[in-house]
Structure 1
Amino acid sequence: MTLGNLRGLYQQVILEHYKKPRHKGKTNPVHRYQKGHNPSCGDTIELTLQLSEAGDKIEDVKFEGEGCAIAMASADLMADALHGKPVNEALEMVQRFQSMMKGQEEFPKELRKLNVMQGVSQFPVRIKCANLTWHTLKAALEANDPQADSFVTNENE
């Protein structure tokens, strides 16, 4: 597959997840809630998580918000990839995604759908858009107050 065809495929997947997100809404019940905001372009995200009874596994992830195609597609792809994942693995995925945005890593075969976001790393101004939902996830999982009405920002990224 040529680089042009690959880039086109990536764009197609991003647009598909932007236009028809599969994980929009709020989880029921909501065990974790976190708002995220990207002041550079105005993207906002409200992330809700449903955890296992022990609180160590992600059972469902949903999001609401407004933003560009990259931010919303990143949220939808992330939510899809997190189903059934242990919390510690989800936090490792945050690190891997952020490394991927720097051109340093990519996801293994079983999570390769997330690699469509790699193309964003070629546009430094858009990296914050892709990373917003991942920053928000990390804050939600590490929060002392899982229902706090505060927001995180990726302004200093």
Structure 2
Amino acid sequence: MKPTIMSLGNLRDLYQQVILERYKSPKHRGVTDPVHRRQRGHNPSCGDTIELTVQLNEAGDRIADVKFQGEGCAISMASVDLMAEAMRGKSLEEALEMVQRFQNMMKGEAEFPKAQRKLNVMQGVAQFPVRIKCANLCWHTLKAAIEASANSDANGFVSNENE
């Protein structure tokens, strides 16, 4: 049997399907229990607003869970849901490396390895520069949450307007 080769059109359709599925039925909506980090993010150009909560392991050096609340376009909601799933079990250092890799992917400069290939579904967004901020919002917000101290005030919003 010959291996099936996916055409670019079929691949684009698959990406769009995954984005729509995650938008309609997110798996990580809610609030972690307990909440060790909380950060809000806003994308003024599209109106996306999210609030991330992060639960850390007992040692405080690994992400046990990430959940989100908020509203936004399909791209921002799919991105945050995929990101929340990918972050479980990651060290804070690994998480920050993944943030950088995602931002590089949005510039067409990187992609995720096989173990995290679900995140590559967002690569198609890079073809639409105006939508990159939508995909990046949750990643900026997570970075701010990780870099914040446990006692910091997260009442302010992280904005990616100057991206």
8 Å CA contact 2:63, 2:87 repeated in 1? yes
Aligned residues: 157
Q: What amino acid does structure 1 have at the position aligned with 2:137?
A: L
Cross-structure match for 2:159: 153
Cross-structure match for 1:101: 106
Normalization by structure 2: what TM-score? 0.95
Cross-structure match for 2:3: none
Task: Tell me how far 1:37 sits from its aligned partner.
Answer: 0.2
* % identical equivalent positions: 76
8 Å CA contact 2:50, 2:69 repeated in 1? yes
Structure with the greater alpha carbon radius of gyration? 2
Matches within 5 A, 1:106-121: 106-121=111-126
**Alpha carbons of 1:147 and 1:25: their partners in 2 closer, same or farther (altered >3 Å)?**
farther
Cross-structure match for 1:66: 71
CA distance in 1, matches of 2:154, 2:109: 33
8 Å CA contact 2:40, 2:154 repeated in 1? no
Deviations, residues 58-102 of structure 1 (Å, cap 9, x unaligned): 000000000000000000000010111111000000000000000
Q: What amino acid does structure 2 have at the position aligned with 1:126?
A: R
Q: What amino acid does structure 2 have at the position aligned with 1:154?
A: N
Are 2:45 and 1:29 equivalent residues in the alignment? Answer: no
Task: Tell me how far 1:41 sits from its aligned partner.
Answer: 1.1
Task: Tell me how far 1:53 sits from its aligned partner.
Answer: 1.2
Cross-structure match for 1:56: 61
Q: Gaps spanning 5+ residues in structure 1: where?
A: none
Q: What amino acid does structure 2 have at the position aligned with 1:18?
A: Y
CA distance in 1, matches of 2:73, 2:18: 14
Cross-structure match for 1:19: 24
For the aligned residue pairs, the C-alpha RMSD in angstroms reads 0.8
Q: What amino acid does structure 1 have at the position aligned with 2:70?
A: G
Normalization by structure 1: what TM-score? 0.98
8 Å CA contact 2:28, 2:67 repeated in 1? yes
Cross-structure match for 2:11: 6
Matches within 5 A, 1:116-155: 116-144=121-149, 145-155=151-161
